[in-house]
Amino acid sequence: MRFRGVLAAVVLLFVALGPRSAFAACPDERDEPICEPFAGTFQPSLTGNAAVTNGLGSYLGGGLELVLLGWKNGGPTFGPSDGKIRLGVGVLASTRDSSRLMVPFRIGTALSFETRATRKFLVPYFAVDVGGIYESDLKTRMFADAGLGLYLLHTRTVSIDFEGTYVLPFSAVKELHGPKMQLTATFAVF
């Protein structure tokens, strides 16, 4: 019950701070640093993860993510202004039984709702992934997930985002389905 209250608060916060009909376009002079589009490849990320399964309880842990392609573009181009294509893996321990581990691995994308977001913070996005979950007793099961997130900060050198997704496994549905949260810090490597 407490989790539902926290989830409702996160959704309410997302709606309150989420996308509006504002297109913060770049000024006519393109010398503003925020207006300069940038993209990066093979950027390492650290993640903090929490998963709440329906049948197995909660799992907490961390992981690594590799941003295959990440970008920010506040100009008048078509498509999402902020986004990334990513590979990720995590190691999570059960809060009920310390001998149980969960190792989720996935590939997916996070794309902003806005096409011309020129700000460096609080840019909402949606996320879609596919992958697998290795769980100590259930072994490996494939899944898909989808959800919402928020780029808390997105600059050339660092990106910090928080997302909540719902995991839909293709098998062992009763045991593994449920919400997952992730806090990610991505760093540009020069």
Complete DSSP assignment for 11-42: HHHHHHHS--S---PPPSSTT-GGGS-EEEEE
CB atoms within 10 A of CB 99: 8
User: Average pLDDT of 87-100?
Assistant: 92
pLDDT at residue 120 above 90? no
- When comparing pLDDT for 132 and 116, which is higher? 132
Least-confidence region, from 20-24, 89-93, 155-159? 20-24
Q: Cα–Cα distance between 42 and 69 in angstroms, integer?
A: 7
The answer to whether residues 144 and 109 touch, using CB atoms and an 8 Å cutoff, is no
Phi, psi angle pair for 14, to nearest 5°? -60, -45
User: Average pLDDT of 4-22?
Assistant: 55
3-state helix, strand, coil split of the chain in percent (to 5) is: 10, 55, 30
Q: Cα–Cα distance between 107 and 116 in angstroms, integer?
A: 26
Task: Give the side-chain half-sphere CA count within 13 A for 89.
Answer: 3
pLDDT at residue 5 above 90? no
Structural domains of the chain, ranges and CATH numbers in brackets: 2-187 (2.40.160.20)
Q: Cα–Cα distance between 64 and 186 in angstroms, integer?
A: 10
CB atoms within 10 A of CB 76: 10
Provide the token pair at 102: 């969960």
Mean pLDDT of the chain: 83
